[in-house]
Structure 1
Amino acid sequence: MSELKRTPIFPLYKESGAKTVEFGGWDMPVQFSGIIQEHEAVRTKAGLFDVSHMGEFDVRGEDAFSFLQTLVTNDLSRIHPGRAMYTAMCYENGGTVDDLLVYCLGDQHYMVVVNAGNIEKDFDWLQEHTDGFDVALTNQSSEIALLAVQGPLSQEVVQAHVEEDLADISFFRFKELKVAGRTAIVSRTGYTGEDGFELYVDANDAQHLWKTILQSDERIEPCGLGARDTLRLEARLPLYGHELSADISPLEAGIGFAVKTKKHHFIGKDALTQQKENGLSKKVVGLQVLERGIPREGYTVLKDGLEIGHVTSGTMSPTLRVPIALAIVDVSFSELETIVSVRIRNREIPAKVVETPFYKRS
């Protein structure tokens, strides 16, 4: 087995009591003080995440825009320097290569941010499709660290280290600023359902920012992947390999807002257009389990004893205090309030299809 990769922040984990686990080939903190405490910190105050395992690609050249426009499902003509966009890349059959963020850094200059476990696969996918385009790709993942400050107090926490007014950065906008004396791309984005910022910095500056932010405000807590998962699940944000995969299209996953089939050709357009026109055969829905039992990834979903799908992600919701799940099911059973069951430890536990997101910030 190959050695696990580590982020620039790894040497500081123990100072905060981190418990680490393997995640996508990385040695990452699953928790510091505890998943529930960290989850509640982000919902009520602020949490600091090390997400430096994510991948960053630099894309530039005369054809950078047209190149990316043929590879992603969303319409990049709607962003300009200072704006970011959530999108997906698909195979010809509509299955998902990855979901990602595209940052417009300048005229014909972009940063593409991909999931940690997909860095090599995604970079190869982009490289394979450069023929005919004047474009240069660089994998900068090892040179860039990424910290996320999330929660209702996140603006106050970050503002203490920035001279410019962060209120000027609206959702999915970004600026290059000095944060605690270090240059960073400060982006109003996140993966928790709360307000927050993501800070892209030189890997050599990551430890300085991590320590400075944590030590300057007692209201912020270090948070691990455990809380990141419960937070994103309550907010109904998909995780690649769960709600999105080579077998699950963006439409089936419920991120149709990031699929613009009216734009010019892109890989997967024909398959996704057919799904839109003919209707889906399966889709991801939200479930609330009605009795004791926590639905986990892979558990079977049934209707009247017949298998209709499986759980893609599930947990005991720390905010709602009920068991919740996302599951991909036969579309015939996807209507709200439909009663189904989840096989949990050889018992069929009743559940109902509910509206998502499970949690929305006020």
Structure 2
Amino acid sequence: MSTSDNFDRTSLFETHQRLNARIVEFAGWEMPIQYGGILEEVNQVRSNAGLFDVSHMGRLEIEGPYAAMMLDRVLSVNVPKLRQGRARYNVICDENGGIIDDCIIYRRGAEKFLLIPNASNTPPVVKWLERWTPDDAQLTITNVTTQTAMIACQGPNSVEYLQKLTETDLSAVRPFRAIDAQVLGHDSFLARTGYTGEDGFEIILPAEAASDIWGGLMDLGAAACGLGARDVLRLEAGLLLHGNDMDTSINPYEAALDKFVDPDRDGYVAGQILRKIRDEGPSRKLAAFSMIGRGIPRHGYAISDGQ
């Protein structure tokens, strides 16, 4: 990772430049918003396979005998019940029930977890985890974001392409499962997760190995895609974006994320307020809508029922 003018750059930054990507600032990082065109990239993901550099996302390793207990206090899902090699989507809520972030938690071992917060939320998430970790707890929180890279390969051909770069049988890795593997000789963590609504894998690997695997997947036919296409795909799949669709002023029941919340656990820091909201019902609720005309719904537009 490198920096320029107070913005961070991923280990693939020079690769994006060679591909003539349009680079923009996003969450403190210089990231590719598009290469050829956003709609072309969206169609590549839907019909073939697309590559996304998502190295700006946080990567936190939480390890130790107290790891599961601490995470169970902070995350909205039951962490001790999470099996090794499994992943769960969840939200991190403050004492008022507001959503600090949404993230994926992976269990990599009996006492080892990997948490993926959003890019701009990584510092507050680390601070929140540390707040609920006793000083004498047998636990380490290690931010490995800058030492690693994260590539998402998404689309109907994504598994076929990635399979050609590893001897690990990817057909055995079901959705929201993960496995350690060698990809082009590089130690990698392969998770069958994503943010596009399509099948695929997210690959976490040493930062210096990112260009090898990116290039290998492109040589097989995967298309480079920017954050613009990723946003279109996640929106049409009904996936929420923290800071846009939810924040600390919105609780998970208002955000229609209640199926990812178990508020009845002992010790859960947001449990009391979330039980109250659940029992009384939220006063408002986020809802999706579909356009039937050719108009473009801009951010902040009012929606009426036509009456």
TM-score scaled to structure 1, two decimals?
0.81
Question: Can you give the 5+ residue segments of structure 2 that lack an aligned partner in the other structure?
Answer: none
8 A contact 2:20–2:35 mirrored in 1: yes
Instruction: Tell me the residue number matched to 2:208.
Output: 204
In the alignment, residue 295 of structure 2 is paired with which amino acid?
G
Q: In the superposition, relative to structure 1, how do residues 147 and 294 fare at CA in structure 2: closer, same or farther (>3 Å)?
A: same
Q: In the superposition, relative to structure 1, how do residues 274 and 7 fare at CA in structure 2: closer, same or farther (>3 Å)?
A: same
Deviation at 1:180, TM superposition (A): 1.3
Distance in 1 (alpha carbons) for counterparts of 2:68 and 2:179? 20
TM superposition outliers: structure 1 runs of 4+ over 6 Å = none
Distance in 1 (alpha carbons) for counterparts of 2:292 and 2:158? 35
Distance in 2 (alpha carbons) for counterparts of 1:292 and 1:208? 41
Distance in 2 (alpha carbons) for counterparts of 1:150 and 1:196? 4
Which stretch of the first structure deviates more once superposed, 161-170 or 246-255? 246-255
Deviation at 1:181, TM superposition (A): 1.3
Aligned: 1:263 with 2:234: no
For the aligned residue pairs, the C-alpha RMSD in angstroms reads 1.6
Aligned length: 303
Distance in 2 (alpha carbons) for counterparts of 1:67 and 1:3? 33
DSSP-derived class of the 1:112 partner: strand
Instruction: Tell me the residue number matched to 1:33.
Output: 36
Aligned: 1:288 with 2:282: no
Which whole-Å deviations, capped at 9, do the CAs of 1:54-99 have from their partners, x for residues lacking one? 0011111111100000000111133121111111110111100100
Distance in 2 (alpha carbons) for counterparts of 1:179 and 1:34? 29
In the alignment, residue 166 of structure 1 is paired with which amino acid?
L
Deviation at 1:158, TM superposition (A): 0.3
1:5 is matched with which residue: 1, 8, 29?
Answer: 8
Which stretch of the first structure deviates more once superposed, 134-143 or 223-232? 134-143
Instruction: Name the larger-Rg structure.
Output: 1
Instruction: Tell me the residue number matched to 1:231.
Output: 233
The residue correspondences of 1:58-137 to structure 2 (distance < 5 A) are 58-131=61-134, 133-137=137-141
DSSP-derived class of the 1:281 partner: coil
Distance in 2 (alpha carbons) for counterparts of 1:291 and 1:58? 46
Distance in 2 (alpha carbons) for counterparts of 1:340 and 1:50? 42
Which whole-Å deviations, capped at 9, do the CAs of 1:254-277 have from their partners, x for residues lacking one? 221110123223121122111111
1:192 is matched with which residue: 192, 196, 202?
Answer: 196
Instruction: Tell me the residue number matched to 1:243.
Output: 245
Deviation at 1:176, TM superposition (A): 0.4
Q: In the superposition, relative to structure 1, how do residues 279 and 21 fare at CA in structure 2: closer, same or farther (>3 Å)?
A: same
Deviation at 1:151, TM superposition (A): 0.4
The percentage of aligned residue pairs carrying the same residue is 37
Aligned: 1:168 with 2:187: no
Deviation at 1:189, TM superposition (A): 0.3
Deviation at 1:136, TM superposition (A): 1.2
DSSP-derived class of the 1:252 partner: coil
Distance in 2 (alpha carbons) for counterparts of 1:128 and 1:265? 14
Which whole-Å deviations, capped at 9, do the CAs of 1:222-266 have from their partners, x for residues lacking one? 000000000000110111101220111122112211101232231
Instruction: Tell me the residue number matched to 1:358.
Output: none
Deviation at 1:110, TM superposition (A): 0.7
Question: Can you give the 5+ residue segments of structure 1 that lack an aligned partner in the other structure?
Answer: 304-338, 342-362
In the alignment, residue 145 of structure 1 is paired with which amino acid?
A
Distance in 1 (alpha carbons) for counterparts of 2:213 and 2:147? 15
Distance in 2 (alpha carbons) for counterparts of 1:159 and 1:290? 39
The residue correspondences of 1:12-51 to structure 2 (distance < 5 A) are 12-51=15-54
Which stretch of the first structure deviates more once superposed, 95-104 or 73-82? 73-82
More relative contact order, 1 or 2 (CA 8 Å, 6+ apart): 2
Q: In the superposition, relative to structure 1, how do residues 19 and 63 fare at CA in structure 2: closer, same or farther (>3 Å)?
A: same
Q: In the superposition, relative to structure 1, how do residues 52 and 198 fare at CA in structure 2: closer, same or farther (>3 Å)?
A: same
Instruction: Tell me the residue number matched to 1:158.
Output: 162
Distance in 2 (alpha carbons) for counterparts of 1:76 and 1:181? 32
Distance in 2 (alpha carbons) for counterparts of 1:273 and 1:262? 7
Which whole-Å deviations, capped at 9, do the CAs of 1:127-150 have from their partners, x for residues lacking one? 122126321111111111100000
Q: In the superposition, relative to structure 1, how do residues 47 and 68 fare at CA in structure 2: closer, same or farther (>3 Å)?
A: same
